[in-house]
Chains A and B, each alone.
Chain A
Amino acid sequence: MYVCTREAVKVPKAQARDLETMADSGSEDLAVIENTDMTPSESENNLRNTMVEKGTSLLKKMEISVAEAEKRTGKNTVNMQETYTVYLIETRPVDAASEGNNSVPDSLWRRYSEFELLRNYLLVTYPFVVVPPLPEKRAEFVWHKLSADNMDPDFVERRRVGLENFLLRVASHPVLSNDKIFYSFLTEENGWKETVFETGFQAKADSRLKALNAIFRVKNPDKRFAEMKHYGDELQSVISQLLRVRARAADRLYGVYKVHGNYGRVFSEWSAIEKEMGDGLQSAGHHMDAYAASVDDILEEEEHYADQLKEYLFYADALRAVCRKHELIQYEMEMAAQDLISKKQQREELVTGTVRTFSLKGMTSKLFGQETPEQRDAKLKMLETQIEEGEDLVKDKNTECEEFVKSAWVDIDRFKEQKDHDLREALISYAIMQISMCKKGIQVWNNAKECFSKM
């Protein structure tokens, strides 16, 4: 069994609750999962432990969780009544927890839009980081039973888990965890929004956004980044497809299990007219009912797997964003270099008097006479200043680009490793889910078979 925890970290309250519900769902007929198997929540726990053991300074001193969700009603910005959900963020100093001291944690309530604001801030402030994604805003890839309603309790619960996951991801990131705005998001309920706006990130956001949406061509595309972007595209496409087909398959599987419930009914009715066969039929019918009912838990667990895939679906987007930002920086750098070259050329022409490049000014001066020496000197001086500035700009842009490439690539490597590890864990836990489902199936049918044998 894979257990790679080196630090015993107290399981956050919400996580503990998850484990409890896992155990409780093992009702009557369900097979006991052997000790050698890992339950899906154990696998998830391992995920968190791996995050924690990365040992960011933030996580070393504080425990973070999104403990609860609540419905609120209030007036929105256009003074209309609205219902929304708020989430309780709890933080607790690590020392207090490990001492077994059940001290009351610090807590504050935040709504989804505030999480979005935080993330946007991080995106703009750390463009070279593959920023962890938020859980989806609206339920997508639903199969028929799942409600697409944001107020649905199951959706809210899964979102709570997703938000907690987001916070832990940020808190375990070597760069993002040190951000002050993030820290105050966790600790300061009032006035946080104002603090974020004060950073002026929105101005940067707007211009960056415009630039990113613009179509531009880079002369010498960086091969590595191009490959990464392509990878991001493919990852997004394949996970979308996977989630779509999985949802359809879940729908069908639900149908298969539920129809077996009809056996329960007909066996019961049939047993009424039988003498010797009656008991066997009746009890077999109960097992068929249990079988039909078991699919609800099975599919709920699978949603958990779907959520893990979704996280990386959105991560793919974040990865592409980093590549796009790099392209932008490179483009700006190329533009700056090109601008400098043309300025230098202009200077040369002015000095030597030869016109190499076509310019309107050149034509007009040819037509309407040349400029005076004073005019020429003034122009030359201006050009020199511009060239100086241009050279500084090119140097800055070069540095910016180099630094971006360096840090981005560090983060991309970190992301790759995380992705490989997490998805591998997710696939293993998916296999474990399937094993559990098979074992339950075998047990139910064995029970039914025994009842039939007594007919």
Chain B
Amino acid sequence: MSTGGTPRSLPSSGQKSLQDISHPLSAEEAVRSCSPDILNTNSTGEKDLSLPNGTPVDTSSPASSSSLLNRLQLDDDLDGETRDLFVTVDDPKKHVSTMETYITYRVCTKTSRTEFDLPEYSVRRRYQDFDWLRNKLEDSQPTHLIPPLPEKFVMKGVVDRFSEEFVETRRKALDKFLKRVADHPVLSFNEHFNAFLSAKDLNKRQGLALLTKMGESVKYVTGGYKLRMRPVEFAAMSEYLDVFTQKLGTLDRIAQRIIKEQSEYLMELREYGPVYSSWASFEGELHEPLEGVAGCVSNCSSALDELTEDMSEEFLPVLREYVLYIESMKNVLKKRDQVQAEYETKLEAVVFREDKKTPVPTDVEKCQDRVECFNADLKADWDRWQNNKRQDFRQLLMGMADKNIQYYEKCLAAWESLILQLQDKQEAKCETN
């Protein structure tokens, strides 16, 4: 494919062999985003890309080729057969030490990738470690959307950090985070991700990560470049995210309201059923049907309780997590704007100063490349994000529908068995009359 040998870790190409993947410079691939210069640089193995603050970009695969590969990925819905990296988060355990108490999770990996020394790994990680990983990914893959983590801080006294529900909700979110990274054609090959999954000990690297993260974010905040014109597609993305955030907020409120109403209904039911029982206690013939009704109401109450709990514990957290995801996406869009703004400013300066026909300075060219690569990566990630979002919500909403169906089915079964019981008796009576 490229003359200088393949980049260090080419993501799995799925069912197609490398020969079948069309050359990036071929007519089929609209290589609009990257200038020929960059490609040449890559083919000689030079890594000239760097962030605006000067930190070399730690890429396992160059940004430009990654965007191409993203577009080459024909099917984002990796099924079991094509996937070669499986990650799960489970088995939360509490650790008590003299200094602190915290929870660790088991991270299991199964893979056939050559980048990993072993086919299987099982390590224990705590939230801090996930946070470290995310920061590392953000640093090293600034043009990509990094999936979000569940909220770091919880108010002590309001939420019990060690309660079963909290830990389980967090575990699910962490599991989702790693799965999203593992499914990403670029991020999954990141060396920090590899280390996270396989290394015994992560401690040494944490301090450095914090500093790096801080330095970078400061730079971006005080970058101060003004954006001239945002390309239409990115403006559309930004607008979409704003409206989507709004709708998610509304959805969250509605779901909460429903849970509240259901809980209040449940309270009444819990009082309602027993009245039938106390009535049954002083009736003769009516004892059976009255107790039967009391039993049905009780069954329905339990079913409703389960429904409400499920919605609280499974539906709402996923909804809220998407808000975080949107925040991440917005941040990436901001970064992109910054990069473009910097390029435009530099370009402007050059254009003004030019009286002779001197070639455009290389750092302006590099800026332009940065912009174009960022745009390409972002578009690819946006498409992936949109697709994931569609699937996630499809699954979420279908799950909600399922839970409601199950609730009604449980109630139906209870009432139907009562009818059978009572109508049998009635028919027997009729015959004897």
- Listed in ascending order, the chain A residues whose CB lies under 8 Å from chain B are 1-2, 4, 231, 234, 238-239, 241-242, 245-246, 248-249, 252-253, 255-256, 259-260, 262-263, 266, 269-270, 273, 276-277, 280, 284, 420, 423-424, 427-428, 430-432, 434-435, 438-439, 441-442, 445-446, 448-449, 452-453, 455
How far does the alpha carbon of A405 sit from the alpha carbon of B399 in the complex, in Å? 65
Q: Tell whether, in the assembled complex, residue B265 and residue A428 are in contact, meaning their CB atoms are under 8 Å apart.
A: no
Interface CB pairs A-B, < 8 A, 8 = A2-B426, A249-B265, A256-B262, A284-B397, A427-B292, A431-B422, A441-B404, A449-B402
Extra pairs beyond A276-B390, A455-B394 (17, CB < 8 Å): A1-B423, A238-B279, A239-B279, A242-B275, A249-B268, A252-B261, A252-B267, A252-B268, A259-B257, A259-B261, A270-B244, A277-B390, A420-B285, A427-B293, A428-B423, A431-B422, A455-B397
Indicate which residue in B276, B282, B423 contacts A242 across the interface (CB closer than 8 Å).
B276
Choose the segment among B23-31, B328-336, B408-416 that binds chain A (4+ C-beta atoms closer than 8 Å): B408-416
Q: Give the chain B neighbours of A262 by CB distance below 8 A.
A: 250, 254, 257
Cross-chain contact B397 with A256 (CB below 8 angstroms): no
When the two chains form their complex, are residues B296 and A431 in contact, meaning their CB atoms are under 8 A apart?
yes
Hey, which chain B residues are within 8 Å of A424, CB to CB?
285-286, 289, 422, 426
CB of B243 within 8 A of chain A?
Answer: yes
Q: Which 9 A-B pairs have the closest CB atoms?
A: A449-B401, A252-B265, A438-B412, A249-B268, A441-B408, A420-B285, A452-B397, A255-B261, A270-B247
B401 and A452 contacting across the interface, CB-CB below 8 Å: yes
Give the CA-CA distance A71 to B272 in the complex, in Å.
37
B258 contacts partner chain A, Cβ-Cβ < 8 Å: yes
A116 to B8, CA, bound (A): 96
A4-B430, A260-B258 known; A446 vs B265 contact (CB < 8 Å): no
Given A438-B415, A445-B405; A453-B272 close (CB under 8 Å): no
Indicate if the CB atoms of A455 and B286 lie closer than 8 Å: no
In the assembled complex, how far is the CB of residue B387 from the closest CB belonging to chain A, in whole angstroms? 9
- For residue B393, which residues in chain A have a CB less than 8 angstroms away from its CB? 277, 455
Closest to B401 in A: A449
- Specify which chain A residues have a CB less than 8 angstroms from the CB of B244 in the assembled complex: 270, 273
Q: Which residue of A lies closest to B424 (CB)?
A: A2
Within 8 A of A (CB), among B375-433: 390, 393-394, 397-398, 401-402, 404-405, 407-409, 411-412, 415-416, 418-419, 422-423, 426-427, 430, 433
Given contacts A255-B264, A266-B250, contact A242 B279 (CB under 8 A): yes
Bound CA–CA A445/B416 (angstroms): 20
Contacts of A242 in B (CB 8 A): 272, 275-276, 279
Complex contact A253–B279 (CB within 8 A): no
Q: Which of A269, A430, A438, A442 has the most CB of B within 10 A?
A: A438
* B199 at the binding interface (Cβ < 8 Å): no
Contact across chains for B278 and A238 when beta carbons are under 8 A apart: yes
- A252 and B405 form a contact (CB under 8 A): no
Q: How many inter-chain contacts with C-beta < 8 Å in the A-B complex?
A: 144
Judging by beta carbons under 8 Å apart, are B254 and A2 in contact?
A: no
Partner of A442, one of B240, B276, B289, B409: B409
Question: A432, B419: Cβ atoms under 8 Å?
Answer: yes
Q: Select B282's contact among A234, A442, A453, beta carbons within 8 Å.
A: A234
What's the Cα separation between A423 and B279 when bound, in Å?
A: 12
With contacts A276-B390, A428-B419, A431-B415 taken as known, whether A2 is within 8 angstroms of B430 at the C-beta atoms is yes
B418–A448 touching, CB < 8 Å: no
Q: How far in angstroms is the closest Cβ of chain A from B308?
A: 10
Complex: how many Å from CA A411 to CA B352? 111
Across the interface, do B401 and A2 meet the contact criterion of CB distance under 8 Å?
A: no
State whether the Cβ of B269 lies closer than 8 Å to any Cβ in chain A.
Answer: yes
Q: Answer whether A434 and B272 are a contact pair too, CB < 8 Å, given A256-B261, A428-B419, A453-B394.
A: no
| Chain A residues closer than 8 Å to B404, beta-carbon distance | 441, 445
Question: B271 in the interface, Cβ–Cβ < 8 Å?
Answer: yes
User: Contact between B408 and A445 (Cβ–Cβ < 8 Å)?
Assistant: yes
Measured between alpha carbons, how far is A134 from B251 in the docked complex, in Å? Answer: 48
Q: When the two chains form their complex, are residues A446 and B405 in contact, meaning their CB atoms are under 8 A apart?
A: yes
**In the complex, which residues of chain B have a beta carbon less than 8 angstroms from the beta carbon of A435?**
412, 415-416, 419
Q: Inside 8 A of B418's CB, which chain A residues have their CB?
A: 431
Contact A442 B405 (CB under 8 A): yes
A427 in complex: contacting residue of B257, B409, B412, B422, CB < 8 Å: B422
User: Which chain A residues lie closer than 8 Å to B286 at the CB level?
Assistant: 420, 423-424, 427
Contact A452 B296 (CB under 8 A): no
The yes or no answer to B290 lying at the interface (CB within 8 A) is: yes
A263 surroundings in chain B (CB, below 8 A): 251, 254
A245-B272 contact given A238-B279, A438-B412, A452-B397, CB 8 Å threshold: yes
- If A260-B258, A428-B289, A435-B419 touch, whether A249 touches B269 (CB-CB below 8 Å) is yes
Give the complex CA separation of A273 and B245 in angstroms: 12
How far does the alpha carbon of A309 sit from the alpha carbon of B267 in the complex, in Å? 22
Name the residue of chain B whose CB is nearest to the CB of A455: B394
- A427: B residues at CB distance < 8 A: 286, 289-290, 292-293, 422
Q: Output the least CB separation between A242 and chain B (Å).
A: 5
Q: How many Å lie between the Cα of A176 and that of B419 in the bound state? A: 35
Contact at A245–B405, with CB atoms within 8 Å? Answer: no
Q: How long is the Cα–Cα vector from A241 to B279 in the complex, in angstroms?
A: 10
Contact yes or no, A245 B390, CB < 8 A: no
CA distance A114 to B236 in the complex (A): 73
Residues of B within 8 A of A455 (CB): 390, 393-394, 397
Which residues does chain B contribute within 8 Å of A266, judged by CB atoms?
A: 247, 250-251, 254
Residue from the list B240, B394, B411 in contact with A434, Cβ < 8 A: B411
The docked-state distance in angstroms from the alpha carbon of A439 to that of B419 is: 15
Contact call A256/B394, Cβ cutoff below 8 A:
no
Option from A241, A428, A449 in Cβ contact (under 8 Å) with B398: A449
How far in angstroms is the closest Cβ of chain A from B257?
Answer: 5
Chain B residues within 8 Å of A241, by CB = 275
Q: Smallest distance from the beta carbon of A238 to chain B beta carbons, Å?
A: 4
CA distance A118 to B219 in the complex (A): 93
- Considering only residues 163-186 of chain B, those with a C-beta below 8 Å from chain A are none
Please tell me if the beta carbons of B293 and A431 are within 8 angstroms of each other in the complex. Answer: yes
Find out whether the CB atom of B415 lies under 8 angstroms from the CB atom of A434: yes
Docked CA distance A424–B292 (Å): 11
- Provided the pairs A424-B289, A431-B296, A452-B398 are in contact, do residues A252 and B264 lie with their beta carbons within 8 angstroms? yes
Residues in B neighbouring A434, C-beta threshold 8 A = 296, 300, 411, 415
- Establish whether residues A442 and B408, one from each chain, have CB atoms under 8 Å apart when the complex forms: yes
- B240 neighbours in A (Cβ, 8 Å): 273
